[in-house]
């Protein structure tokens, strides 16, 4: 997806309503094929569960709950050498924490070893299975290829009696590992390779963590799974798409032994893949074993235990599973979607607090030395409350000496910077308007403190004369500050697809994925219990680490930042980068749409997600109406307010924007006329948000008009290629996916003004010439 071109960003995800699995179940119930729905979640106890498993858990347990059926927890413990009771414990704990209950239906495939063995004997007796002496290597070699039939094993026509005898002796331990296998006798020329006499049992002289030394033959997955489903009365056996080819074998086995009703059926859905993470247990195990993370529950891990320790609540994970839905095509889900669900969930749950992560001292020279005030600060802003509810509050002490965030002051403010600077007035949240009078430097030449004055008439943070200040910042009273350890967690991997990136996946870990700081917090944070959630205003949601927090001194894990600030990381210095469209923009489409939004969507021909975002506050709606009044098109005005502007505004919201509907309409017109690209439009909007100004003038001043002229693009492209000779060489050596890299670099160089289609064409031409 072209990240640069917001217009292409679809509100993808499952359409609400019935997915294909629910349709199948509805039809089964209607036709009387089943009277009850029984599903199962079948983890192999060889690692911790991850967010991908959570998708499957929410689906299986969710279906059971929806249809008044039941869902079994079945440990698929057919492989004796890789499994561990420790993993079983963590798996059960994680599922329960997610909010699901298997009741008394906790099973193990190993519970069925005796019955599975009997089914195997039944197949042999029917002439449908035989004991084979080929080695693994020989078997693999004789299996053929997708275009070529396999060759039958020399033992294929072994008499039934002989196979029965050998199978009995396999069980009795007379043969070493690998000497013999039991194979189904199906069809060595079958188009489906899984049907070419697959192995059903192998010899493994290994102790099993539950069955002990009782067995030295173990059933293969394909044999054990369908029969375990049947034994438990599973109706809908739901697994991921990799098992599509196994379904034929699943059915063949159930067709050829005597099983009770109901007969289970297998259905496949797309597994979850998430950007910036890896999701295979094998790889996660490697991270743990190589000590690249602090354990399975490291808050950066995509494991359920990791997410829990990071401060994610189960309701957020369930909402995420709901949002992504169930589909039949594999896809990559943006991590932002998960982050959106986490924020949305914590917004109403985590009370607001103030803490400074990178402190800068402020002295209010006109505030009496001994004086202390206490401000009553609400725990929640109005929009995070249920309708009609009022917020609880806490008292926050204030004094002459304060700390503010180092980032909230710039001595020479860059363009668009709205916070404190020499001579500038800002609001200290809930307290006073203050003006910076003097910058004091330490001996090292660094800024040591700021000397400011305050306006006593602005007590509570309200401007007495209604004057506007540029921004609102948080603060902590120096005398009362509580110092705390804060751990800032970020994404574990830098690239979107660490699995697909060059080299080993471990090479792509983000070295900055954990930063530990000493924060200074308002004193009420000493009452935050281990496992408690807060929102540190303007910083993110934080969680008191359950293991490392002490009484009165929580250790704070950052669960998630407040907005998607990722785009800022590689922003050129001195200029705030346009934020990527926040997940907030797309997500409301997947939530319940309010009546007002539905009406607006219908009346104005808008996308429901857009209408929902517009209706979220009066200010947005007013801006939209004013823009239409001034001639903007509905579609562009709606989309740009909902998808772009919302991500760039601060908490003051649309009411406080320094431009009006007419200016916004002008921007819409530039976009609609194609005068500027979407990327350039975002630059313009960012500048408007920062300091007002008319879009046409900004475009003119910054040279942001769309560049589609062939010569201009060609010279841009040749500059970019010249700057990246290594990449060029690799591209020409066959690494064609570097096209995206060059596109990004060229787009950046043009300040987002290049026409994406024309740029791609120019680039392609230059690369392939
Ligand atoms: P991994 O590939 O990470 O080792 P697995 O599939 O081998 O995982 P199991 O313990 O066998 O792990 O998985 C239990 C269930 O969870 C299976 O039904 C499997 O299909 C499902 N599952 C595993 N990974 C995902 C995923 N990424 N998305 C959805 N379901 C998944
Ligand atoms: Mg598996």
Using 50, 70 and 90 to split pLDDT, how confident is the model at 340? very high
pLDDT-wise least confident of 292-301, 370-379, 395-404, 643-652: 643-652
Asked if 60 and 235 count as a contact pair (C-beta separation under 8 A), the reply is no
DSSP per residue, 376-400 = EEESS-GGGS-TT----EEEEEE-S
Ligand 1 atom closest to the Cα of residue 271 is 28
Averaged pLDDT, 533-560? 96
Ligand 1 atom closest to the Cα of residue 55 is 29
Q: What 3-state DSSP class applies to 403?
A: strand
Ligand 1 atom closest to the Cα of residue 56 is 30
CA of residue 293 relative to chain centroid, distance = 19
What is the rounded CA–CA span in Å between residue 182 and residue 407?
A: 68
Q: Which residues pair with 107 in a beta bridge?
A: 74
| pLDDT value at 424 more than 90 | yes
* Residue identifier of the C-alpha nearest atom 2 of ligand 1: 280
Catalytic residue (choose from 44, 122, 244, 496):
44
Q: Which of 257, 259, 199, 265 is nearest to 231 (CA)?
A: 259
Averaged pLDDT, 295-315? 98
Asked if 234 and 39 count as a contact pair (C-beta separation under 8 A), the reply is yes
Nearest ligand to the CA atom of 75: 1
pLDDT given at position 503: 87
**Which tokens belong to 510?**
């983000």
Ligand 1 atom closest to the Cα of residue 284 is 3
pLDDT given at position 593: 60
Averaged pLDDT, 323-330? 89
Ligand 1 atom closest to the Cα of residue 272 is 28
Q: Which of 700, 654, 699, 651 is nearest to 679 (CA)?
A: 699
The per-residue pLDDT of the chain, averaged, comes to 90
Ligand 2 mean position, distance from CA 333 (Å): 21
Asked if 38 and 344 count as a contact pair (C-beta separation under 8 A), the reply is no
Place of tokens 């980032």: 407
Averaged pLDDT, 237-253? 97
Ligand 1 atom closest to the Cα of residue 240 is 20
Place of tokens 């949305």: 344
Averaged pLDDT, 349-368? 97
Q: Which of 373, 371, 356, 390 is nearest to 482 (CA)?
A: 356
pLDDT digits (tens, 9 = 90+) for 96-136: 999 999 999 999 999 999 999 999 999 999 999 999 999 99
Ligand 2 mean position, distance from CA 173 (Å): 27
What is the rounded CA–CA span in Å between residue 378 and residue 243?
A: 53
**Rounded (10°) CA dihedral 44, 52, 565, 649:** -140
| pLDDT value at 572 more than 80 | no
Averaged pLDDT, 469-495? 95
| pLDDT value at 3 more than 50 | no
* Residue identifier of the C-alpha nearest atom 3 of ligand 1: 280
Crossing angle between the packed helical segments 221-232 and 247-256, to the nearest 10 degrees: 60
Ligand 1 atom closest to the Cα of residue 280 is 3
Ligand 1 atom closest to the Cα of residue 238 is 18
Q: Phi/psi class of residue 292: alpha, beta or left (left: φ > 0; alpha: ψ in -120 to 50)? A: alpha
Ligand 1 mean position, distance from CA 581 (Å): 31
Asked if 687 and 415 count as a contact pair (C-beta separation under 8 A), the reply is yes
pLDDT digits (tens, 9 = 90+) for 674-715: 889 888 888 899 888 888 789 999 998 888 888 888 888 998
Q: Which residues pair with 667 in a beta bridge?
A: none
Q: What is the CA radius of gyration of the chain?
A: 31
| pLDDT value at 372 more than 70 | yes
What is the rounded CA–CA span in Å between residue 104 and residue 95?
A: 14
Ligand 2 mean position, distance from CA 326 (Å): 19
Asked if 483 and 396 count as a contact pair (C-beta separation under 8 A), the reply is no
Tell me, yes or no, if 651 is annotated catalytic: no
For residue 361, the surrounding DSSP H or E stretch is strand 359-364
Using 50, 70 and 90 to split pLDDT, how confident is the model at 738? confident
Q: What 3-state DSSP class applies to 524?
A: helix
Nearest ligand to the CA atom of 87: 1
Ligand 2 mean position, distance from CA 44 (Å): 6
Q: Could you tell me where the beta strands, DSSP code E, fall in 511-596?
A: 514-521, 533-536, 540-544, 556-560
Q: Which residues pair with 529 in a beta bridge?
A: none
| pLDDT value at 285 more than 70 | yes
Ligand 2 mean position, distance from CA 112 (Å): 18
Averaged pLDDT, 366-391? 91
* Residue identifier of the C-alpha nearest atom 9 of ligand 1: 43
Q: Give phi and psi for 497, each to the nearest 5.
A: -125, 80
Asked if 535 and 351 count as a contact pair (C-beta separation under 8 A), the reply is yes
Using 50, 70 and 90 to split pLDDT, how confident is the model at 466? confident
Tell me, yes or no, if 369 is annotated catalytic: no
Cis peptide, bond prior to residue 262, ω within 30 of zero: yes
Ligand 2 mean position, distance from CA 273 (Å): 15
What is the rounded CA–CA span in Å between residue 645 and residue 651?
A: 12
Ligand 2 mean position, distance from CA 253 (Å): 19
CA of residue 134 relative to chain centroid, distance = 46
Averaged pLDDT, 580-597? 48
| pLDDT value at 571 more than 70 | no
Nearest ligand to the CA atom of 229: 1
Tell me, yes or no, if 730 is annotated catalytic: no
Asked if 665 and 631 count as a contact pair (C-beta separation under 8 A), the reply is yes
Ligand 1 mean position, distance from CA 301 (Å): 16
Crossing angle between the packed helical segments 710-723 and 756-768, to the nearest 10 degrees: 60
Catalytic residue (choose from 55, 183, 196, 281):
281
Place of tokens 């099973």: 107
Averaged pLDDT, 306-313? 98
| pLDDT value at 265 more than 80 | yes
Instruction: Work out the burial of residue 741: count CB atoms within 10 Å of its CB; fewer than 13 is exposed, 13-18 middle, 19 or more buried.
Output: middle
**Mutation pick for ligand 1 pocket among 40, 41, 52, 75 (CB with most ligand atoms within 8 Å):** 52
For residue 343, the surrounding DSSP H or E stretch is helix 335-347
* Residue identifier of the C-alpha nearest atom 13 of ligand 1: 43
pLDDT digits (tens, 9 = 90+) for 175-205: 999 999 999 999 999 999 999 999 999 999 9
Averaged pLDDT, 269-285? 94
DSSP 8-state assignment for residue 208: B
pLDDT given at position 9: 31
**Mutation pick for ligand 1 pocket among 47, 53, 83 (CB with most ligand atoms within 8 Å):** 53
DSSP per residue, 169-189 = HHHTT-S-TTS-EEEE---TT
pLDDT given at position 754: 86
CA–CA distances in Å: residue 467 to residues 241, 434, 461: 61, 13, 12
**Which tokens belong to 649?**
């505004």
pLDDT given at position 17: 56
* Residue identifier of the C-alpha nearest atom 18 of ligand 1: 239
DSSP per residue, 426-493 = EEETTS-EEEEEEEEE-TTSSEEEEEEEEEGGGGGG--TT----S-EE-EEETTT-EEEEEEEE--SB
pLDDT given at position 691: 80
**Which tokens belong to 320?**
């995420």
CA of residue 117 relative to chain centroid, distance = 43
Crossing angle between the packed helical segments 710-723 and 725-732, to the nearest 10 degrees: 100
DSSP 8-state assignment for residue 150: -
pLDDT given at position 608: 81
Nearest ligand to the CA atom of 76: 1
| pLDDT value at 588 more than 60 | no
Nearest ligand to the CA atom of 52: 1
Instruction: Work out the burial of residue 49: count CB atoms within 10 Å of its CB; fewer than 13 is exposed, 13-18 middle, 19 or more buried.
Output: buried
pLDDT given at position 527: 96
* Residue identifier of the C-alpha nearest atom 4 of ligand 1: 281
**Mutation pick for ligand 1 pocket among 41, 51, 56 (CB with most ligand atoms within 8 Å):** 56
Nearest ligand to the CA atom of 74: 1
What is the rounded CA–CA span in Å between residue 345 and residue 323?
A: 13
pLDDT digits (tens, 9 = 90+) for 616-659: 888 889 999 999 999 999 999 998 998 888 877 766 677 788 89
What is the rounded CA–CA span in Å between residue 22 and residue 137?
A: 42
DSSP per residue, 58-77 = HHHHHHHHHTT-EEEEEE--
pLDDT given at position 160: 98
* Residue identifier of the C-alpha nearest atom 21 of ligand 1: 53
Asked if 279 and 272 count as a contact pair (C-beta separation under 8 A), the reply is yes
Q: Give phi and psi for 536, each to the nearest 5.
A: -80, 120
Ligand 2 mean position, distance from CA 645 (Å): 44
| pLDDT value at 222 more than 50 | yes
**Residues with beta carbon inside 6 Å of ligand 1?**
42-44, 52-53, 55-56, 239-240, 271-272, 279-282
pTM more than 0.85 = no
pLDDT given at position 650: 67
Asked if 188 and 152 count as a contact pair (C-beta separation under 8 A), the reply is yes
Catalytic residue (choose from 16, 106, 271, 283):
271
DSSP 8-state assignment for residue 367: S
* Residue identifier of the C-alpha nearest atom 14 of ligand 1: 43
């Amino acid at each position: 997806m072209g990240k640069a071109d917001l217009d292409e960003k679809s509100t993808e995800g499952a359409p609400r309503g019935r997915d294909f699995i629910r349709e199948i179940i509805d039809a089964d119930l209607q036709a009387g094929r089943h009277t009850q729905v029984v599903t199962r979640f079948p983890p192999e106890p060889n690692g911790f569960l991850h967010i991908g498993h959570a998708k499957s858990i929410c689906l299986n347990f969710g279906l059971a709950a929806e249809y008044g059926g039941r869902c079994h927890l079945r440990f698929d413990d057919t492989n004796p050498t890789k499994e561990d009771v420790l993993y079983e414990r963590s798996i059960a704990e994680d599922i329960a924490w997610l909010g699901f209950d298997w009741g008394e239906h906790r099973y193990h495939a190993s519970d069925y070893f005796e019955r599975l063995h009997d089914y195997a004997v039944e197949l042999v007796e029917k002439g449908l299975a035989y004991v084979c002496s080929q080695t693994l290597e020989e078997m693999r070699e004789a299996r053929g290829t997708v275009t070529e039939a396999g060759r039958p094993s020399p033992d294929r026509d072994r008499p039934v009696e002989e196979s029965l005898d050998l199978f009995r002796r396999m069980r009795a331990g007379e043969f070493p590992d690998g000497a013999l296998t039991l194979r189904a006798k199906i069809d060595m020329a079958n188009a489906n390779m899984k049907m070419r006499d697959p192995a059903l049992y192998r010899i493994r002289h290994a102790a099993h963590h539950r069955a002990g030394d009782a067995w030295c033959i173990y059933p293969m997955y394909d044999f054990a799974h369908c029969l375990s489903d049947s034994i438990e009365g599973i109706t809908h056996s739901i697994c991921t798409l990799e098992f599509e080819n196994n379904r034929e074998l699943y059915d063949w086995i159930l067709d050829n032994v005597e099983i009770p009703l109901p007969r289970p059926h297998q259905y496949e859905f797309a597994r979850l893949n998430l950007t910036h993470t890896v999701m295979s247990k094998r790889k996660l195990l490697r991270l743990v074993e190589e000590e690249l993370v602090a354990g399975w529950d490291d808050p950066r891990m995509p494991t359920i235990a990791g997410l829990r320790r990071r401060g994610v609540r189960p309701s957020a994970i369930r909402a995420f599973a709901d949002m992504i839905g169930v589909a039949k095509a594999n896809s990559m889900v943006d991590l932002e979607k998960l982050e959106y669900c986490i924020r949305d969930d914590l917004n109403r749950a985590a009370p607001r607090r103030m803490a400074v992560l990178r402190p800068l001292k402020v002295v209010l020279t006109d505030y009496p030395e001994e004086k202390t005030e206490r401000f009553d600060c609400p725990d929640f802003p109005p929009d995070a409350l249920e309708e009609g509810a009022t917020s609880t509050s806490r008292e926050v002490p204030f004094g002459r000496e304060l700390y503010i965030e180092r980032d909230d002051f710039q001595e020479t403010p860059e363009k668009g910077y709205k916070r404190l600077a020499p001579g500038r007035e800002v609001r200290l949240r809930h307290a006073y308007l203050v003006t910076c009078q003097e910058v004091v430097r330490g001996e090292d030449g660094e800024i040591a403190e700021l000397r400011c004055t305050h306006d006593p008439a602005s007590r509570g943070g309200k401007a007495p004369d209604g004057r506007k200040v540029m921004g609102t910042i948080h603060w902590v009273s120096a005398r009362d500050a509580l110092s705390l350890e804060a751990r800032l967690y970020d994404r574990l991997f830098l690239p979107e697809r660490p699995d697909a990136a060059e080299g080993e996946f471990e090479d792509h870990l983000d070295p900055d994925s954990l930063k530990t700081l000493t924060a200074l917090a308002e004193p009420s944070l000493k009452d935050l219990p281990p496992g408690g959630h807060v929102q540190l205003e303007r910083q993110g949601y934080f969680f008191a680490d359950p293991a490392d927090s002490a009484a009165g001194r929580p250790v704070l894990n950052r669960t998630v930042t407040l907005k998607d600030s990722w785009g800022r990381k590689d922003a050129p210095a001195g200029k705030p980068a346009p934020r990527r469209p926040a997940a907030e923009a797309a997500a409301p489409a997947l939530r319940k749409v309010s009546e007002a939004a539905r009406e607006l969507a219908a009346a104005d021909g808008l996308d429901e997600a857009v209408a929902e975002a517009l209706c979220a506050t009066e200010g947005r709606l007013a801006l939209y109406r004013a823009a239409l009044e001034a001639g903007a098109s509905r579609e562009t005005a709606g989309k740009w307010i909902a998808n772009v502007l919302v991500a760039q505004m601060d908490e003051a919201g649309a009411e406080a924007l320094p431009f009006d509907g007419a200016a916004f309409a002008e921007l819409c017109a530039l976009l609609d006329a194609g005068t500027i690209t979407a990327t350039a439009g975002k630059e313009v909007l960012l500048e408007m948000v920062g300091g007002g100004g008319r879009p046409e003038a900004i475009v003119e001043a910054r040279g942001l008009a769309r560049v589609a002229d062939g010569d201009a693009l060609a010279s841009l492209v040749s500059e970019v290629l010249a700057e990246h000779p290594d990449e060029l060489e690799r591209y020409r050596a066959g690494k064609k996916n570097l096209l995206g890299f060059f596109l990004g670099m060229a787009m950046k160089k043009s300040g987002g003004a290049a026409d994406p289609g024309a740029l791609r064409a120019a680039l392609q031409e230059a690369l392939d010439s």
